[in-house]
Amino acid sequence: MDGDGGGGGENQQCHDHGKEVETRLWKSICRSLSSGFVNAHSDSSAAAAAVPTKKMRNRSVSLGVPLRKKSVQAAAAAAAAGHHGDEQTPLQLMRASVVELDPLSKGVDDATLRRFLVARSMKVDKATTMFVEHQRWRRSLFFFTAPAGGGGGGYIPEAQVKKELETGKVMRAGYGKQGHPVAVGFGAKHDVLNRDVEEFKRFTVYVFDKLIASMPPGTEKFMIILDLQGVSYRNMDPVAMRTNLDFLQAYYPERLAKAFVVHVPTIFWGVWHMLSPFIDKVTREKILFVEDKALEMTLMEYIDKEQLPSLYGGRGHLQSMTDVSPTYKSPPLAIPEFGTEAAASS
């Protein structure tokens, strides 16, 4: 009896400690969510989410000119005037404005510019600002993650996201019926108490870029299955949530085809109700919560049985992100080699 009583006391202490950890995590979630999210249809951007430190910014590198509202408007006016009154499409006007503000982006393809235009409701000045800020962020990201400041080939090195990859929290899962590459994220494999914020940011870019690189020609979007089976408060990371949403909305506009959230636990809904007002309407409409009883049927509306992973009723299999090679193309971005005067003036 004494032994049982002592064991009960230890169990109670463990239980109390666990509840204390959950309470701290929940308060952290509330504080982070209350600070707000980047809205993909607002004038702000997610630049602060991945801006290099002051020490890093002091290193010699040309990342582009600082953007100001007047400079964007002036570029748009100059682009329009340069066509001598000819009627131009928003895409043509945006391209001219982009080249005026960021000559390094001269060779970017129409499909990329069009995605930014759509994200900004075809408003040329706002789309131009969003795109040029995106390019500056992208260049700074790859300059500071590549060895010796080199270009790094446009991808995050796996050595820079080693801990995240080892968790197996994100896997590849074939293609959707319209050719969209599919990734599966396992929420229970993410530990808020054992992750590095900066590495997670790099990991987010790594995953998105891998999906883009595996898109067949003519495909511009990917799909995500977020599996919350077994998720607890320890797995609910407000910083990770913000990173995924901020990057997706500000730096990967019009890339998400559909996100399926499956095996949703009750504890998630409180977070979602606080989170959802900060997600723009277009993105929210692409997020589909799937009931367990309709899981296989719903997913098979978008993914063939041969491609759907077996754990969701299909005959497909999961693949490690490290095994995914850039089958079709690199991300369509202007990434110069940094560290030389020639690159800065090209």
pLDDT at 38: 43
Query: Is a pLDDT exceeding 70 seen at residue 23?
Result: no
* pLDDT over 70 percentage in the chain: 65
Same domain, 234 and 311: yes
Question: Domain for residue 3, yes or no?
Answer: no
Which tokens go with 134?
Answer: 């995106």
Query: Is a pLDDT exceeding 80 seen at residue 13?
Result: no
pLDDT at 275: 78
Query: For tokens 């400079």, what's the residue?
Result: 71
| Phi, psi (degrees; rounded to nearest 5) at 112 | -65, -50
3-state DSSP assignment of residue 125: helix
Q: How far is CA 31 from CA 28, 195, 237, 242, in A?
A: 5, 19, 12, 12
Please tell me the distance from the alpha carbon of residue 221 to that of residue 207, in angstroms, as a whole number: 13
Question: Domain for residue 27, yes or no?
Answer: no
Question: Domain for residue 42, yes or no?
Answer: no
Question: Domain for residue 13, yes or no?
Answer: no
DSSP labels, 285-325? TTEEEE-GGGHHHHHTTTS-TTTSBGGGTSSB--EEGGG--
Number of domains in the chain: 2
- Closest listed residue to residue 190, CA positions, set 174, 206, 166, 156: 166
Q: What is the pLDDT of residues 257-268, one digit of tens each?
A: 999 999 999 988
Which tokens go with 193?
Answer: 């108490």
pLDDT-derived band at 272 (thresholds 50, 70, 90) equals: confident
Same domain, 216 and 194: yes
Please tell me the distance from the alpha carbon of residue 314 to that of residue 304, in angstroms, as a whole number: 8
pLDDT-derived band at 323 (thresholds 50, 70, 90) equals: confident
Q: What is the pLDDT of residues 197-208, one digit of tens each?
A: 999 999 999 999
pLDDT at 142: 76
Same domain, 188 and 301: yes
Q: What is the pLDDT of residues 108-146, one digit of tens each?
A: 999 999 999 999 999 999 999 999 999 999 888 876 555
Same domain, 150 and 170: no
Give the mean model confidence (pLDDT) for residues 105-109: 90
DSSP labels, 233-258? GGG--HHHHHHHHHHHHHTSTT-EEE
Q: What is the pLDDT of residues 75-87, one digit of tens each?
A: 555 555 554 445 5
Containing structural domain, residue 62: 47-154+332-345
- In sequence order, the 6+-apart residues with CB closer than 8 A to the CB of 208 are 222, 247, 248, 252, 255
3-state DSSP assignment of residue 36: coil
Question: Domain for residue 16, yes or no?
Answer: no
- How many CA atoms lie within 13 Å of 198's alpha carbon, on the beta-carbon side? 7
pLDDT-derived band at 243 (thresholds 50, 70, 90) equals: confident
Same domain, 132 and 185: no
Q: For residue 226, give the CATH number of its domain.
A: 3.40.525.10
